[in-house]
Chain A
Amino acid sequence: MFWVLLKKQLLQLNQFYFYNPKTGKRRNPASIIGMVFLFLLVFFSFGMAVFGLSTTLLVGIAKAKVYWLFFAMMGLVSIFVGVLGGGYTAYPTIYNAKDNDLLISFPISTSSLILVRTVSVYIMTVLYSAFIWLPALLAFWVVCGVPSVLSVIYSLLLLPILCIADVALSCLLGFIIAAISSRVKNKSLTTIVFSFLFIGVYYIFYFRTDYYIELLTKNLKDVIAFFDTKFIVFKFLGEGAMGNTLSLLYFLGIVVALFLVIWYLLQRSFIGIVTHTSKFKKARFSNKDIRTRSVGRALLSKEFRRFWKCPAYVLNAGFGIVIELGFTVFLIVKSGIIREYLYSIENLNPELDLAVYLPGAIALTLCFLASTNAVSAPSVSLEGKSIWILQSYPVEAHKPLFAKEQMHIILNGIPAVLGAITMDIICYVPWYNMILTLLFVLSFISLMGSLGVMSNLRHPNLNWTNENVPIKQSVSVLICMFGGWVLIGILAVVFLISAFFLPPYIFLSIISLFFIGLCVLINKWIRTKGATIFATL
């Protein structure tokens, strides 16, 4: 039975990655190569940051010659990141899959069902953990040399072993969310709150990485003692990576035992959670609930309802909004320090005129933050099997598409505008440059909104059983996010070069016009060709 389910799961994954969901035919080699290239690009970019972090960490550790500590620490980070990635996948994959009812009605053991579901989670954790572990390994070999062949083999083997711990902890997190969600009415809100808390903790650690590395280096003996006593499992990991077979086996044993315990917990509780019916007070319908809206507002309202009711959508496409708002609050709180910092830069470099650089830098920073929110990019796919509603109703096909774009602009525009105004005030940017900064940012956001809709029309996937598929595993999301980052990167270079001879308002104006022009062209395509595609998807 397990192998039958596993085959179905792998077929599903294979279908998603290598087959066009619309035609059912295998994707052409060029698009597969494109996907692989994008993945490698992300891996390389992220890997460079981890490599840098690892080399910083290795400085103190290499001096003290406690090499196992490096692997213990990176293993811990790897697990943390793996759980962050796998946690998002575990809850919907295990508890919210649309074929749960069907499979539960079959003579399939819960243990097999859960084990197979963890395969998808495992694959996700391997990807996330690999982003940490592999660059860390490389950094170690570069800085400290290769201890032995056995060390190389074991340290590579440790990646799939670490991911067993990742998947166990991700599934535990999924279980906790599911157990609480099944007992509250607003499940979406519960999931969102939990996720934000988890991510908040992650980012607190992330932004204080330098501080923790410094703390570690100064208190190495205490840290070693801590791992020796409280976190010995990670010491086994560290020693295993250095070529110690017994330590590797101990670590493997502990991780497998952890997985088995959590697997047991999940299988015992699974049916109870997915079939749990809570006794909530029923909402009462009254005539006050009957409201009229224009067609445009009805379509926009529908998009927002879907957004707020879907935790995966909020967390993946909207998390950057929280970052932007947090960034704005940070700017307000630290405005004094920021101003002092800017004064000190000007004092150190009297020839440097920050007024030349600030507007563009502010605009590009906000655009970069906004480009992480791919709100419109999965929006067509999210229509899923209910697309027949808009196709069969008397509404021009471009209107729902523009509603998706509008939602993108509103969700991204508000925090961006607040951020831009705050930064411009703190940095004493003249009013005309402030207006142009706003224009720049809003035109970029509009462009990304329309690009998201267009790319999703070109790469739709309506056949999903889990909302994570169109939101997280989507070509259009990748195109928009990376396309946005590449565009910002290019513009940053152009800006730095042009700052020598062009006043900032010219750069901002020209690029804003460019964005607006591109947006108009894309929207024209959406209104014509895009609408035709949508009407017959």
Chain B
Amino acid sequence: MLKISHLTKTFGEKKAVDNLTLHIRPGEIYGFIGHNGAGKTTTLKSVVGILEFDEGEILINNLSIKEYPIEVKRMIAYIPDNPDLYDFMTGIQYLNFVADIFKIPAKERAERINKYADLFELRSDLAEAISSYSHGMKQKLAVISALIHEPKLIIMDEPFVGLDPKAAHTLKEIMREICDNGGAIFFSTHVLEVAEKLCDMVAIIKNGKLITSGTMENVKGDASLESVFLELEE
């Protein structure tokens, strides 16, 4: 599904990501963890095509993000860590906008918007201006906008921040459902307990370099993910 090969990105003199290689297969929920400034967001943005990278290759379903950006972006969805949405729109105007970009027909659009609006309990706020939303509501809207075009691969940067427990639980269920249907999720998080319970695979990055990756069982063994992480970070 997603192949990151020897990804390198430098900002000035600092290598934010250094020769990173990862492979995310269909059906996997892949957790990406690391300390602040480790290179997680840089990696995710490079995958989505927002950031130009210096070396390496990123393929989604064998299509290069550099050579086929539009085709790749049709297959993926991205939720940043702090979603700055269009404050001048209402929630439904924003969802309509996203659905127009992805050319979702009216009937499917209505079904999905209603479904996710009810699941995330945002229906009563959809007609309100996004500028009046709390952080959590914006996060929910960003999640809904990512789901309405039924992407094959979802890239998320700390998606649970700001979500209430019910919404977080709903999101986890949706993530599992997407992967069970052949999709994949690649997300970063600082909440290691969530990663431990949810992820099939995990990668730990430190100072731009991948220090370990594999199945959750192989990476953490009998210890907790937190203790493994702290040990590797030393």
Contacts and interface: CB of A to CB of B under 8 A. Distances in A.
Interface of A: 282-285, 287, 289-295, 297-298, 301-302, 305-306, 309-310, 384-386, 388-389, 391-396, 535-536
B210 interface: no
A536 B99 contact: no
A386 B73 contact: no
B69 A535 contact: yes
Nearest to A384: B84
Given A284-B124, A285-B126, 19 more contacts: A282-B128, A283-B90, A283-B127, A284-B127, A289-B96, A290-B92, A290-B106, A290-B110, A301-B97, A302-B89, A309-B87, A384-B84, A388-B78, A388-B80, A389-B86, A391-B50, A392-B48, A395-B70, A395-B101
Interface string B114-129: 1001000001111110
Given A292-B99, A392-B48, A305 B109 contact: no
Contacts of B72: 394
Contacts of B113: 290
- Most B CB contacts (10 A, CB to CB) among A301, A385, A389 go to A389
Interface string B39-72: 0000000001111100000000000000001111
A385 B84 contact: yes
Contact of A295 (B48, B69, B101): B101
B88 A309 contact: yes
Contacts of A309: 87-88
B207 to A, nearest CB: 22
Contacts, number: 103
Contacts of A293: 96, 100
Interface residues of B, number: 46
A295 B105 CA distance: 12
20 contacts: A283-B90, A285-B117, A285-B123, A285-B124, A287-B114, A290-B96, A290-B106, A298-B97, A298-B100, A302-B97, A305-B93, A309-B87, A309-B88, A310-B88, A386-B84, A386-B85, A391-B50, A393-B102, A394-B71, A396-B70
Contact of A394 (B80, B84, B102): B102
Nearest to A386: B84
Ranked nearest first, the 8 interchain pairs of A and B with the lowest CB-CB distance are A298-B100, A283-B127, A309-B88, A394-B73, A285-B126, A385-B84, A285-B127, A394-B74
Nearest to A396: B70
B103 interface: yes
- Most B CB contacts (10 A, CB to CB) among A302, A306, A310, A384 go to A302
Contacts of B52: 536
B70 A306 contact: no
Contacts of A283: 90, 127-128
B57 to A, nearest CB: 17
Contacts of A297: 100
Nearest to A313: B88
Contacts of B91: 285
Given A302-B86, A386-B84, A393-B101, A291 B96 contact: yes
Contacts of A294: 100
B98 interface: yes
A306 B88 contact: yes
A285 B50 CA distance: 32
- Most A CB contacts (10 A, CB to CB) among B84, B85, B123 go to B84
